[in-house]
């Protein structure tokens, strides 16, 4: 038997039995992350119940996620989302992972950055802001409410950083990604491979139709935290 064959057998013997446990742990991690994400269902004046096809009179849906408003919070009542999803709303509901719904309150809106904060009665485990640096080519994932179908996971890479002056918002600091983003994903979390928050989905770059073309933008965590710090110091 060759040396490399012996080493291979030893590695399998030592670690092989742990592979199912590792896979199970990863599944549990992502399932827990899904539970921190909600579908955002706004009611707009003059529009029917939330759904898709706003031009035909149906308000658009979006996505939101629980986040830590205060660093010491283990559970949170605060949901981050994109302002353009709820800006015109007379009522906002969120739908949880288990399909239950709750009417929530808009407690903060910043038009310059398109950031809004909702408050629920329910308390959920919040997503954690990543303390790691973001690099080009890094693996990232989005959990969003694509086309109103409920939470789904898409993945890609960081295509570019510090995208500004694109014309979406007055103040911009975007992460560009090719992770699939579609209508209903506005306000969705952009996550690193550890399930940590690095941004919030805000825009799709397209000239023909509002569908994913692989050029998508998420508000950088640094800009989000800057806005949150301003709120906390008031």
Catalytic residues: 84, 114, 186
User: How many Cα atoms occupy the beta-carbon half-sphere of 4 within 13 Å?
Assistant: 0
Give me the residue label for tokens 């989302």. 81
At 28, give phi and psi (nearest 5°): -65, -40
């Amino acid at each position: 038997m060759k040396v490399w064959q012996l080493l291979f057998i030893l590695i399998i013997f030592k670690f092989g039995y742990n592979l199912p446990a590792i896979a199970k742990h990863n599944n549990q991690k992502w399932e827990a992350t899904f539970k921190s994400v909600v579908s955002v269902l706004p009611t707009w004046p003059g529009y029917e119940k939330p759904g898709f096809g706003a031009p035909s009179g149906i308000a658009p849906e979006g996505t939101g996620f629980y986040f830590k408003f205060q660093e010491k919070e283990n559970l949170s009542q605060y949901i981050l989302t994109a302002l353009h999803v709820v800006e015109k709303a007379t009522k906002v509901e969120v739908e949880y992972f288990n399909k239950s719904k709750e009417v929530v309150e808009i407690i903060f809106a910043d038009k310059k950055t398109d950031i809004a904060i909702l408050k629920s009665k329910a308390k959920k485990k919040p997503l954690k802001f990543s303390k790691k640096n973001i690099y080009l080519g890094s693996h990232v994932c989005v959990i969003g409410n694509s086309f109103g179908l409920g939470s789904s996971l898409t993945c890609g890479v960081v295509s570019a950083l510090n995208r500004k002056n694109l014309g979406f918002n007055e103040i911009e600091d975007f992460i560009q990604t090719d992770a699939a983003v579609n209508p209903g994903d506005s306000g969705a979390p952009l996550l690193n491979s550890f399930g940590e928050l690095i941004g919030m989905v805000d825009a799709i770059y397209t000239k023909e139709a509002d569908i994913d073309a692989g050029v998508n933008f998420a508000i950088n965590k640094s800009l989000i935290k800057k806005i949150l710090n301003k709120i906390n110091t008031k």
